[in-house]
């Protein structure tokens, strides 16, 4: 009985240790299997997610090259020669304006030129219908004083200052655009204002030149009537002045016929026959449709995951739809009321040049597999 009693504790202790060892080994095996399965599942899920992260976003389609036709002078539209969809060449007549003041100026200049021509013929053939020399002298002096007053009352400074301000604004917009702090639309608007102010400045300089010429001619007439020149020379000066005035009036009248500055397709007409328009406003938009811009509005969080040159696929809304491989052309900051603060632009060849796709909606597919960690959807 004593021997049996002494051996019992030894067997119990050995059995308990063995069971604990087996349980620990089992737990290790289970953990290893779980970790292996977890890694495999994780890789499989990651691969599936990574494969599915390409995103397709809507895009607006615009012509890559587009010209806006405007007029230097105001007037009323009396003829419209184009409509949307028509093809035009540079120099083709787009529309015709009419301004009664320009037409009246031309008629006056023409009548004056013909009258001076008649006087010149009379002088050169020996007939002298000049009349009273003293009256001519007084009239010449009055014309000279009036010309000097007009010149003294004129100033080029406002037009020059407006052009300088517009140029400074455009230069500032160019600087901001280079830093992606200004949009293409803002830059284009600043350029339009600069061009308008340049046209105004040129018109004012031309007007100043005419005033100076008037003073010069009037002074010559005063000298002529006081015996410093022959009557034939006086008429010759008048003829030269009348010819220059007729040339300017003709140029202004001809400018009422608006022609295309580029070859392309008419995208939009902004005016109709009968409309009264001021100078400088857009009249017609003409585009070259061989290349198209697909503009995609995106938020800042998504925009910073892409850069110029990244590969994309463009979905063109043709029948059937066309898929074109392309790259990102530009990423610009575009102010918006929503969260789409940036515009990603992709430029592609037009797969259907005979169709007007500009103004329609397309799609751009972005390849994001390599960028999955940064997107953090």
pLDDT, tens digit, for every residue of 32-84? 666 555 554 444 434 443 444 788 999 999 888 888 888 877 888 999 999 98
pLDDT, tens digit, for every residue of 276-333? 888 888 899 998 888 899 999 988 888 888 889 999 999 998 888 889 999 999 988 7
Tokens 């009537």 sit at which residue? Answer: 225
What is the residue-wise DSSP string for 235-301?
Answer: HHHHHHHHHHHHHHHHHHHHTTEEE-SS-EEEEEE---TT-EE-TT-EEEEEEEEEEEEEEEEE-HH
pLDDT, tens digit, for every residue of 99-158? 777 777 778 888 887 877 777 776 656 544 444 456 667 777 777 788 888 888 888 888
d(C-alpha 52, C-alpha 234), whole Å: 89
pLDDT, tens digit, for every residue of 5-44? 444 444 454 456 666 667 666 666 666 666 555 554 444 4
pLDDT the model gives residue 340: 59
163-167-168-172 Cα dihedral, nearest 10 degrees: 150
pLDDT the model gives residue 313: 93
pLDDT band at 335 (very low <50, low <70, confident <90, very high): low
d(C-alpha 40, C-alpha 38), whole Å: 5
316 phi and psi, to 5 degrees?
A: -95, 130
pLDDT the model gives residue 136: 67
pLDDT the model gives residue 234: 59
pLDDT the model gives residue 369: 59
| pTM higher than the cut 0.85 | no
pLDDT, tens digit, for every residue of 235-272? 667 777 878 888 887 877 777 888 888 888 898 899 99
| Burial class of residue 92 (count of CB atoms within 10 Å of its CB; 0-12, 13-18, 19+) | middle
Is residue 61 classed as helix, strand or coil in its secondary structure? Answer: strand
Is residue 66 classed as helix, strand or coil in its secondary structure? Answer: strand
d(C-alpha 56, C-alpha 77), whole Å: 45
Could you tell me the two tokens for 194?
């600069």
Examine the pLDDT at 229 and tell me if it is beyond 60.
no
d(C-alpha 140, C-alpha 144), whole Å: 6
Residues 6+ apart with CB under 8 A from 311: 325, 326, 327, 367
Between vectors from CA 63 to CA 57 and to CA 64, what angle results, nearest 5°? 95
pLDDT the model gives residue 19: 65
Examine the pLDDT at 202 and tell me if it is beyond 50.
yes
pLDDT the model gives residue 171: 82
Could you give the C-alpha distances from 121 to 101, 128, 129, 221, 236, in angstroms and in order? 30, 10, 11, 18, 10
More confident residue, 85 or 130: 85
What is the residue-wise DSSP string for 209-230?
Answer: HHHHHHHHHHHHHHHIIIIIS-
d(C-alpha 309, C-alpha 270), whole Å: 36
pLDDT the model gives residue 59: 93
The shares of helix, strand and coil residues in the chain, as percent rounded to the nearest 5, are 50, 25, 25
331 phi and psi, to 5 degrees?
A: -130, 115
pLDDT the model gives residue 284: 92
pLDDT the model gives residue 95: 92
């Amino acid at each position: 009985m004593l021997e049996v009693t002494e051996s019992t504790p030894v067997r119990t202790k050995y059995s308990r240790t063995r069971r604990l060892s087996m349980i620990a080994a089992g737990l290790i095996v289970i953990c290893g299997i779980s970790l292996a399965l977890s890694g495999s599942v994780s890789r499989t899920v990651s691969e599936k997610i990574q494969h599915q992260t390409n995103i397709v976003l809507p895009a607006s389609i615009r012509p890559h090259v587009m010209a806006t036709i405007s007029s230097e002078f105001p007037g009323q539209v009396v003829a419209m020669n184009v409509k949307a969809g028509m093809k035009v060449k540079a120099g083709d007549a787009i529309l015709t304006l009419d301004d009664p003041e320009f037409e009246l100026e031309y008629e006056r200049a023409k009548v004056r030129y013909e009258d001076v021509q008649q006087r010149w013929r009379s002088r050169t053939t020996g007939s002298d219908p000049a009349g009273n020399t003293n009256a001519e002298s007084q009239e010449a002096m009055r014309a000279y004083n009036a010309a000097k007053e007009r010149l003294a009352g004129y100033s080029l400074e406002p037009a020059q200052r407006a052009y300088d301000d517009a140029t400074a604004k455009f230069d500032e917009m160019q600087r901001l655009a280079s830093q992606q702090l200004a949009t293409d639309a803002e830059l284009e608007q600043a350029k339009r204002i600069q061009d308008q102010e340049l046209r105004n400045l040129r018109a004012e300089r031309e007007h100043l030149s005419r005033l100076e010429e008037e003073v010069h001619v009037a002074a010559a007439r005063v000298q002529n009537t006081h015996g410093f020149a022959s009557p034939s020379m006086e008429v010759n000066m008048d003829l030269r002045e009348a010819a220059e005035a007729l040339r300017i009036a003709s140029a202004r009248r001809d400018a009422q016929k608006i022609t295309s500055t580029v070859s392309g397709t008419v995208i939009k007409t902004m005016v109709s026959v009968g409309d009264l328009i001021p100078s400088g406003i857009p009249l017609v938009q003409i585009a070259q449709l061989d290349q198209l811009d697909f503009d995609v509005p995106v938020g800042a969080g998504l925009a910073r995951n892409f850069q110029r040159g990244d590969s994309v696929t463009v979905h063109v809304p043709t029948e059937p739809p066309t898929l074109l491989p392309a790259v990102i052309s530009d990423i610009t900051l575009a102010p918006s009321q929503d969260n789409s603060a940036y515009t990603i632009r992709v430029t592609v060849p037009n797969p259907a040049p005979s169709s007007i796709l500009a103004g329609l909606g397309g799609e751009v597919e972005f390849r994001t597999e390599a960028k999955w960690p940064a997107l953090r959807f």
